[in-house]
Amino acid sequence: MSALEALGSPRLAVRSPGGAATMARVTGPGPVELGALTVTLEERADGWGWSVANAGGDPVALECVRLEWDAGPLGGDARMLRHGYQSWSPTGVARIGVDRDPSATPGSIGLVRGMHHADSAVVADPHELRSELVTVLALTPGSPLVGLGFDAGAGHDGTFRVRPDTGRVAVAAEAHLGGAVLAPGAERRLHGVTVDEGDDASLLLEAWAARAGQAGGARTGAPYQVGWCSWYHYFHDVTEAALRANLARSAGWPFDVFQLDDGWQRHIGDWLATNDRFPSTLPELAGSIAAEGRRPGIWLAPFLASPGSELAAAHPDWLARWDEQRPLVGMVNPGWGGAVHTLDTTRPEVLAHIEHVAAELVAAGFTYLKLDFTYAPSLPGRFHDPARTPAERVRAGMEAVRRGAGPDAFLLGCGLPLGAGIGVVDGMRIGPDVAPHWEVRPDQWVPPGYDGVEPATRNAWRNTLSRSFQHRRLWLNDPDCLMLRAAETDLSPDAARVWALAVGVSGGMALVSDDLALLDGGARRLLDEVLALGRAADAEAASGRPPRCDDLLESDPPTRLTGGGARLVVDLTGPRATISR
């Protein structure tokens, strides 16, 4: 029996933005008519392929195409691995029929929903759970786990939805097109969906990542990355003096990369000039870093522009729009003076500009680019070319960066929808920001429903374990920076160690983000321990076996990670780590 045949009473649905779904039963492979649209399903040994065509005489805006089926009775302890949409989106297990989608939280904010899901709308049923790009379902005790995954994410987003339905479980695979217009006579291929069974969630996820990475030309060959980053000590207040002081202290530290983070730029959007805290030019800064034998790295948010930027003043038409009056807000950040706008990456002149910026930064000497807030063009809004999907808008921008930066630059995706990054980025932030504290602070403002995305080392920890299967299959995982300092932090020494060991055993990128003046011999020994663990786990991942988390479906956050011959177990009540080799 093929995977398609195995699905219980499958139904196809298409929906236009704001409209009701048109549905039809599926009796087998072949074309299914849904109003003016025809969806064609192809049977594959491991799932299905599909495409959608507009047979009518008018353009059709398509929100989504969905295949939904009955996955059997809802057991007592049915679970879904919820894989997050972008770098910062939480990934972890949820209980079907018990847990709720965060969008259903009263007061949830549209921009936050748009940032963390393919579909920014509030779920129709609060007990519907969703996972982006890939998932694992544990539906009935004693039955195999089901792994579901989209082949790719560059052409459109893909969401799996699970819903309790009168004692049964309804599962849907949804190609999210975000209102992209299909011209009369046009046809669009959709990313295929694979269905897999097994008894080990990590193995199902690894197999999916291996396939998706191979099909998408994943860039997995960069060496193990060790470096320094300015963000988690200096934040927005970084100065050239602070950068130079750390550079001067870095002799004897094993950093390859020295990366300047947010805070150097004249304005969000104006990436070729420094602000008053940085008297030197960009080539001078890169030259000073290179002179110390480090690779110069720099942060930018290539798809954003603040209202006060030269870019927005010179090219108001380059901004995507919310409506006739207002440009599309891509982020609200007090550190940047409030709301900033989103570039319209469906305009060739915008892509040429992004390419130029990347080329200039690399020419200045910054061959490592941290590309942040890159979800922005996926937000719902009005774009010049309405035929592009949200994923295509992100992808076009990322490809423009790659064209400008050249094949040898190291590109780190951050805030990036994961599917759109495969094959473009060398490294990917796979979790929320760490912070000099473990839990979200009681005085920290949290967008309703989305506490798991807020800066907190516990939140970063969760994704470092739950997304460990992606390392060297889709890119190099960046778990976010180590927090080594014992002063100017609320992390206990145990918590700092828990986090450091997780970074190590994950085999992911290892960046220090402290004022080096605060680090003593203990911090240095911890770093050396992390790097030894990290190099071993990374080498094992490079040879085909990424680190493994064996309580992924049991605990959120998970507590166990094995890699490079080391086993990390964490008691989260401390938190406190035990490591065995």
Rule CB under 6 A: which residues touch ligand 9PG?
A: 88, 231, 261-262, 299, 372, 414, 433, 453
Minimum CB distance to ligand 9PG, residue 237 (Å): 12
Helices and strands counted in the chain (H then E): 13, 30
In the residue annotation, 433 being an active-site residue is answered as: yes
Place of tokens 């719902």: 380
Distance of CA 327 to the CA centre of its chain: 24
Instruction: Evaluate whether 208 touches 101 at the Cβ level (below 8 Å).
Output: no
Decide whether 162 or 328 has the Cβ nearer to ligand 9PG: 328
Decide whether 218 or 414 has the Cβ nearer to ligand 9PG: 414
| Distance (Å, whole) CA 339 – CA 518 | 34
Minimum CB distance to ligand 9PG, residue 443 (Å): 16
Instruction: Evaluate whether 100 touches 111 at the Cβ level (below 8 Å).
Output: no
Minimum CB distance to ligand 9PG, residue 248 (Å): 23
| Distance (Å, whole) CA 178 – CA 386 | 10
**Which residue number places its CB atom closest to ligand 9PG?**
262
Decide whether 372 or 556 has the Cβ nearer to ligand 9PG: 372
Q: How far is residue 51 from each of residues 32, 39, 66, measured CA to CA in Å?
A: 11, 6, 11
Decide whether 26 or 409 has the Cβ nearer to ligand 9PG: 409
Instruction: Evaluate whether 456 touches 250 at the Cβ level (below 8 Å).
Output: no
Minimum CB distance to ligand 9PG, residue 452 (Å): 11
Beta-sheet pairing, 168-182 with 157-165: antiparallel
**61: number of Cβ within 10 Å:** 17
| Distance (Å, whole) CA 417 – CA 176 | 13
Decide whether 335 or 522 has the Cβ nearer to ligand 9PG: 335
Residue 102 DSSP label: G
The catalytic residue among 151, 157, 426, 433 is 433
| Distance (Å, whole) CA 35 – CA 112 | 33
List Cβ neighbours of 20 (8 Å cut-off, separation of 6 or more).
Answer: none
Cis peptide before 557 (omega within 30 of 0): yes
Decide whether 48 or 368 has the Cβ nearer to ligand 9PG: 368
The catalytic residue among 256, 372, 426, 556 is 372
Torsion of CA 150, 134, 405, 310, to 10 degrees: 100
Single-letter residue type at 451: D
Bridge partners (DSSP) of residue 407 are none
Tokens representing residue 488 in the block: 């100017």
Residue in 78, 62, 48 with CA at minimum distance from that of residue 165: 78
Decide whether 478 or 540 has the Cβ nearer to ligand 9PG: 478
In the residue annotation, 372 being an active-site residue is answered as: yes
Decide whether 255 or 299 has the Cβ nearer to ligand 9PG: 299
User: Helices 282-291 and 348-364 sit at what angle, rounded to 10 degrees?
Assistant: 40
Minimum CB distance to ligand 9PG, residue 336 (Å): 8
Minimum CB distance to ligand 9PG, residue 25 (Å): 41
List Cβ neighbours of 249 (8 Å cut-off, separation of 6 or more).
Answer: 516, 517
Tokens representing residue 545 in the block: 């076996």
Minimum CB distance to ligand 9PG, residue 261 (Å): 5
Instruction: Evaluate whether 504 touches 534 at the Cβ level (below 8 Å).
Output: yes
Minimum CB distance to ligand 9PG, residue 462 (Å): 15
The set of catalytic residues is: 372, 433
